[in-house]
Structure 1
Amino acid sequence: MHAKIASNATAMRRWLADAETVLANHSDRLNAINIFPVADGDTGTNLYHTVRAAALAAAGDPRTDLGELLGGAGQAAMEEAWGNSGTLFAVFLDAFAASLKGHTRLSGPLLATALHRAQIRAWSALSEPVSGTMLSVLEAAAEGAASTEASEAGADSNHALAAVLDAVVESALGAVVDTEAQLGVLTSARVVDAGGVGLLLVLAALRSAVLGEGLAEDTLEALHGFRVQDPHIHGDQPEALGVELMCTVTLSPLDAAGLRQRLDEIGDSVIMSPVGAFDDGSGVCRWRVHVHVADPDDALALIRSVGEPERVAFTELHAADPAAADRREADRLAEGGPRAS
């Protein structure tokens, strides 16, 4: 039995702060095993900076409604999302928050509902969702939550919440281990998926914030490729080619669907997700767009054919020298520009 459980807004702020800390501590190893969808070695960095945006937003938000608090954090994460993994985290958090509106305390049933909603949103945000990734880990976590919540007969109690949280982390961990056998590139490299491990760390931080129980370090050490002494596996992979393009654009759902289809034709790793609420009056909403393309000018031309993109950012997909990347990022921020991915 867990001695003390905290499930209010303060605990949710602590969740995001803890997630930021744990991702900062493990970003190097996440980068080292990042070989899917491209071996560019930045999953840990991208997740850390995106979660940090969410944590900062939540820290300065006094609201006690969990949905409003985490919704604001999710919107901040979406606006500042870095890369493929960061964008998927932002989609996850935004959808997770939607099920908690009107509630000031997390419960087992609410957690199961929120994870189910996040799972659906995350899978639908990608044009070509792939198993063996963050998506599989989120799906397993949602299924573990639903199964345990059902066994607790929907009880709204601390015991039930603890049971669901334990099941979420256990299921996510099992799914991370399974990723190695689900994707050929991971199987060949004998490594688990970097994004999946990142999401596991985020979910474990939620359990830690609520129950006060973190993820044992030796649990992570047992994951293939994740030991500190393991090599940077992405360095042995074929160099990624092309450019990652990210932006925000205001569109109707119909125009957004058309843009997604056209981006699918010229690129890969297409993610499109709404940012904020749909405007019933104008019939539009803002969309976060992420795509890997050979020629970013072609992609920008497609986007501009339906709307004016904002916060446009490019990043070359090859694994860059970390020191050089840090210097470029410092220069960009000094000029007041957006993050490159």
Structure 2
Amino acid sequence: MHAKIASNAAAMRRWLADAETALANHSDRLNAINIFPVADGDTGTNLYHTVRAASTAAASTEGTDLGLLLGAAGQAAMEEAWGNSGTLFAVFLDAFAASLAGHTRLSAPLLARALHRAQIRAWSALSEPVGGTMLSVLEAAAEGAAAAVSAEAHEDSNLALAAALDGAVEAALGAVVETEAQLGVLTSARVVDAGGVGLLLVLAALRTTVLGEGIPEDTLETLHGFRVQDPHIHAAQPEALGVEIMCTIQLSPLDAAVLRQRLDEIGESVIMSPVGAFDDEAGLCRWRVHVHVVDPDAAVSLIRQIGEPERVAFTELRSQGPGTSTEDSAGQITEGSRRGH
């Protein structure tokens, strides 16, 4: 039996703080192996900044309702998401929170349900979901937790929660290892997926918080490309071309579907996910939009044909690019320092 079980709101705040620390400690190695979908070497940086936004929001949110607490963290992550990997983490956390509404402690069935919901949301957020990425790792974690729950006679016990967390993290670790064989670019470089490792660190932080046991450092170093002495593999890849655009926009479900279709026609890595609740009276919902394009001006013009975007951010998809130009909701251009994927 695990010596420590902590599953209340205070524990969830510690989870996100622990995840922030883990990503800060490992961001350089995540950047080093970041070669998919573009080799711009900043997955670790982007995940760290996005998780930090979630952790900061959780720390300032009072109350014991896990859904409200993590929901606030998920919304903050969605609004402040950096890059492809950060956006997918925000989608994960926002969906994870929705399954915990009205509950004051995490249980095995709730964990399995939350991971399953997050899996569905993450896969549906992408126009062209690809296996061998964060998506595969999240799917494996959901299946690992569900299998552990179905094997436990007392689903709501601390023992069942420990088993579900163990099952989720162990399955996620196995899925990370498998990413190397699932994507040709990873196979050629002999490296695992950076985003997948990042999500594994987040899930391991949850197990550390609840059970007091994470993933041993020597286990992480068995992942191809993840040892400190390994080279920065992304630097040997062809330079990424194009610009990443991110924004928030209020749209009806129909207009959101139209925007997704049009972005699919001109760009890649399209992610669209709702931010907050649907406004029944107005028939609108806020959406977080992410896309990689060659012509950013044409893309923004297309977006503005559908609605008025806010917090528009442009990032060149290259390892050593200039700072980000960010356009606020009033249409002003300000200089930033954020980078892409």
The DSSP-based 3-state class of the residue aligned with 1:305 is: helix
Aligned to 2:28: 28
- Cα deviation for residue 189 of structure 1 reads 0.1
Which amino acid is 2:239 matched to? E
Which amino acid is 2:34 matched to? N
Aligned to 2:80: 80
Question: CA contact under 8 A between 1:109 and 1:154: conserved in structure 2?
Answer: no
State the TM-score, normalized to the length of structure 1: 0.95
Aligned to 1:292: 292
Q: Quick check: 1:179 aligned with 2:183?
A: no
The DSSP-based 3-state class of the residue aligned with 2:298 is: helix
Residues 194-228 of structure 1, C-alpha deviations (whole Å, 9 max, x = no match): 00000000000000010011210001100000000
Residues 56-108 of structure 1, C-alpha deviations (whole Å, 9 max, x = no match): 00001112100000000000000000000000000000000000000000000
- Cα deviation for residue 4 of structure 1 reads 2.0
Quick one: distance in 1 between partners of 2:28 and 2:283? 43
Quick one: distance in 2 between partners of 1:297 and 1:127? 21
Residues 219-275 of structure 1, C-alpha deviations (whole Å, 9 max, x = no match): 110000000000000011000000000000000000000100000000000000000
Quick one: distance in 2 between partners of 1:215 and 1:15? 14
Aligned to 2:244: 244
The DSSP-based 3-state class of the residue aligned with 1:104 is: coil
Question: CA contact under 8 A between 1:241 and 1:317: conserved in structure 2?
Answer: yes
Quick one: distance in 1 between partners of 2:235 and 2:31? 10
Report 1:79-228 matches (<5 A).
79-153=79-153, 155-228=155-228
Question: CA contact under 8 A between 2:140 and 2:171: conserved in structure 1?
Answer: yes
The DSSP-based 3-state class of the residue aligned with 2:306 is: coil
Aligned to 1:256: 256
Question: CA contact under 8 A between 2:32 and 2:232: conserved in structure 1?
Answer: yes
Quick one: distance in 2 between partners of 1:39 and 1:338? 18
- Cα deviation for residue 318 of structure 1 reads 1.1
Question: CA contact under 8 A between 1:96 and 1:118: conserved in structure 2?
Answer: yes
Quick one: distance in 2 between partners of 1:223 and 1:312? 36
Quick one: distance in 2 between partners of 1:253 and 1:72? 23
**Cα RMSD for the two superposed structures:** 1.5
Which amino acid is 1:271 matched to? I
Question: CA contact under 8 A between 1:43 and 1:194: conserved in structure 2?
Answer: yes
Which amino acid is 1:79 matched to? E
Question: CA contact under 8 A between 1:28 and 1:44: conserved in structure 2?
Answer: yes
The DSSP-based 3-state class of the residue aligned with 1:275 is: strand
Question: CA contact under 8 A between 2:107 and 2:161: conserved in structure 1?
Answer: yes
The DSSP-based 3-state class of the residue aligned with 2:2 is: coil
The DSSP-based 3-state class of the residue aligned with 1:100 is: coil
Which amino acid is 2:145 matched to? A
Aligned to 2:331: none
Quick one: distance in 2 between partners of 1:190 and 1:2? 36
Which amino acid is 2:295 matched to? D
- Cα deviation for residue 340 of structure 1 reads 5.7
Once the two structures are aligned, what percentage of the paired residues are identical?
81
Aligned to 2:40: 40
Residues 170-194 of structure 1, C-alpha deviations (whole Å, 9 max, x = no match): 0000000000000000000000000
Matched pairs, number: 333
State the TM-score, normalized to the length of structure 2: 0.95
Quick one: distance in 1 between partners of 2:72 and 2:99? 14
Q: Quick check: 1:12 aligned with 2:19?
A: no
Unpaired stretches in structure 2, ≥5 consecutive residues: 329-333
Question: CA contact under 8 A between 2:243 and 2:314: conserved in structure 1?
Answer: yes
Question: CA contact under 8 A between 2:316 and 2:339: conserved in structure 1?
Answer: no
Which amino acid is 2:198 matched to? G
Quick one: distance in 1 between partners of 2:130 and 2:169? 21
Question: CA contact under 8 A between 1:192 and 1:224: conserved in structure 2?
Answer: yes
**Structure 1 segments (4+ residues) deviating >2 Å:** 335-341
Report 1:283-322 matches (<5 A).
283-320=283-320
The DSSP-based 3-state class of the residue aligned with 1:273 is: strand
